[in-house]
Chain A
Amino acid sequence: MFDRIPAQTLRLLILLAVFAGVVLFFAAVIDGYLNARLFNRISTSVAIIALIATGQAFVVLTRNIDLSVGSVVGCVAYFVGGLLALWPGMPPLAVALLAVLIGAGFGAVNGFLVARFGLPSIIVTLATLAIFRSILVQSSDGASITTDSLPAWVPGFAQANAFTLGELQLRWMVVVTLVVVLAAHLFLTRLRAGRRFFAIGSNPDAARFAGIDAARTVFLAFVISGALAGLAGFMFLSRFGNITVVAGLGFELKSVGAVVVGGVNIFGGSGNVIGVLVGAALIDLIDTSLVRWELVSEFWREAVLGLLILAAVVADALLSRRLMARRRRAAAGAAAAAPAIGEGRT
């Protein structure tokens, strides 16, 4: 029966089922688990990681990887914080735009090196992970940004609600992320420009035959990844206020994790950002909930996260192998029929 559902939809359904299962599980083992505070807390932290993961998804779709996003988040949070300390009067929208632009600039460096010179993205972004971080350290001289040095609206933004429904609060941050994810989803599914990302990851040779400019598309993917990491950097600043040189450390792995759990093929070509959003939420849900589960300590978070990513990849590989096998059976059936004709002819 599952054969009739497209693979992408099936993946998303399975992911949602797992998500629901995890929620139910924790609700069963933790007293007073399902409450508004849980939603408020998880939604805010998902807002940040989901943005980064959405950018990462663009890169992974094209058969690349961006390991530098954590450093970009840290850099942008720090630079924007520093600029705000200098000019507290900057309008909020300009600040957010600035964050996006700085992030896009970092992404452009990655994109240029990967797309223009054909260097392997894993090496380039491994190096820029270190380089961007060292730029941050160099320019900060070890000093931190503190909440006190920021205009009040900055930490205020992280607390601001767009809607409230009883205890449930939907923060502006969350709304922004949802809008971005939705926009990314529409871009990737509705615009011809968006489909290029899939085409390149799906079959680079055929993409060349079809006249798709691979270098430009890959460059764009890295710029998008950088820009969204920049926006996430601004949110990070707003949420935490205190920014040290280690800000954003580890986001690269979490974002790749969310992308993979969200059903994007690590070899490119397939996936969707709604899945990535759910993947990010699932990772954060487990992260947050384990802290509150008395049976295990909060220190189980990482181990569970790692195994979750592995499980997601294995499940995905098995699923797509099943599809491949089905296709091959059909093809083999065709080939097996061939000799029979030959005999008919002689």
Chain B
Amino acid sequence: MSERGLAGRLRAQLASWEGFLLLVVVLLVALNAVATPYFLTVQNQINLFQLSIEKIIVALVMTFVIINGEIDLSVASVMGLAACAFGWLFQQGMPAGLAVAVVLGIGILCGAFNAFFVVAVGLPSLVVTLATLIAFRGMARILVEDRGIGGFPDWFNRLGQQPLVGPFPMALLVFAVLAAVAFFVLQRTAFGRRVYFIGLSREVAAFSGVDVGRVKAAVFVASGLVAALAGLLYAARVGSVRGDVALGFELDIITIVLLGGVSIFGGVGTVTGTLLSILIVLNLRNGMALANITGHIQTGVLGVLLILSVMVPTIRGWAARLFGGGEAVR
């Protein structure tokens, strides 16, 4: 009986969490639109996305990592390493096109490095990626030291800065495509199904013939690859790279994902939730910027939201007790 209650509540809450997020999105958009007449113009929306485009791209793949029951703290460092490696290779005279390919390869290697220690050695991903967070960032600094590298070819910068199709710049298109791919893979394919099962229970997955190690490794490698891609997009958007590219982004990225209803314990959450959370964060940041609230404080507000989001069950308990809704508490 209690099982029914528990799982039923869980499900109802999940369903309502996404509904709640949607409500928040609508509310924020409305507030922003009232505050600024041109908020809803296409150009403004594009600018809004462009400002955080690298983070939200990585948030898509982070959704996989956390649902899989793991965490990847090293993504921002991989982004930094990718950007710096691109700058360095370019400076060494490698054609930019080839450098892009090599950098994506580096991203895969970074992911595989994490995967090796998590899957093959069996260390907790929290520790492994904490170490590689520092190590990958360090490699970026070795490559560019304290210089800034720029002067990339025009086509490269244009891809980052100019509209590519209609009013949309490439990064936004990449995001759109990746969002569609992430949704498809996680919610519709056998691979996505296995990611969920492993996050819910490794043992059940293993006892059902799922190759747990291989799925986990694939997710980490994808994380490295997408992070490297995001790093390249950053380099193209800004037009130059430095050792501190994307420094500290991992916190924002993880916050977005968790706010979207993905459980830190794995197995629960959806790409839709992450997308809604992205909209909330972008709109909130926009609104706060309008209200002259600076970046660090915006992050603080997101921190409060993050705590509130994990406290939802507790808060519901309080509310139920307050209003005497005995059934919901139990």
Contact = CB atoms under 8 A, between A and B. Distances in A.
Interface of A: 65, 113, 117, 119-120, 122-124, 126-138, 142, 245, 249, 253, 256-257, 260, 266-267, 297, 299-307, 309-310, 313-314, 317
B330 interface: no
Contacts of B283: none
B300 A135 contact: yes
Residue of B130, B139, B298, B306 with most partner-chain A CB within 10 A:
B130
Contact of B133 (A120, A124, A134, A253): A253
Contacts of B255: 126-127, 130
Nearest to B137: A302
Binding site secondary structure of chain A = helix
Interface of B: 71, 117, 121-124, 126-128, 130-139, 141-142, 145-146, 243, 248, 251, 254-255, 258, 264-265, 294, 296-304, 306-307, 310-311, 314
Contacts of A131: 300, 303-304
B145 A297 contact: yes
Contacts, number: 138
Given A305-B134, A306-B133, A307-B135, A267 B254 contact: no
B134 A309 contact: yes
A306 B307 contact: no
Contacts of B130: 253, 256-257, 309
Nearest to A308: B131
Given A130-B302, A309-B131, A317 B123 contact: yes
B264 A122 contact: yes
Contacts of B141: 299, 301-303
21 contacts: A65-B126, A119-B307, A119-B310, A122-B264, A123-B258, A126-B254, A126-B303, A127-B302, A127-B303, A128-B303, A130-B255, A131-B304, A134-B297, A256-B130, A257-B131, A266-B124, A267-B124, A300-B138, A303-B142, A306-B138, A314-B121
Contacts of B117: 310, 314
Contacts of A260: 127
A137 B303 contact: no
Given A127-B304, A137-B296, 6 more contacts: A117-B314, A122-B71, A299-B141, A302-B135, A306-B137, A309-B131
A134 B135 contact: no
B241 to A, nearest CB: 14
Nearest to A297: B145
A313 B127 contact: yes
A137 B122 CA distance: 40
A113 B308 CA distance: 11
A119 B263 CA distance: 12
A310 B314 CA distance: 37
A323 to B, nearest CB: 15
Contacts of B124: 266-267
Contacts of A127: 255, 302-304, 306-307
Residue of A132, A256, A297, A303 with most partner-chain B CB within 10 A:
A303
Contacts of B265: 120
Residue of B128, B296, B298, B303 with most partner-chain A CB within 10 A:
B303
B136 to A, nearest CB: 7
A126 B251 contact: yes
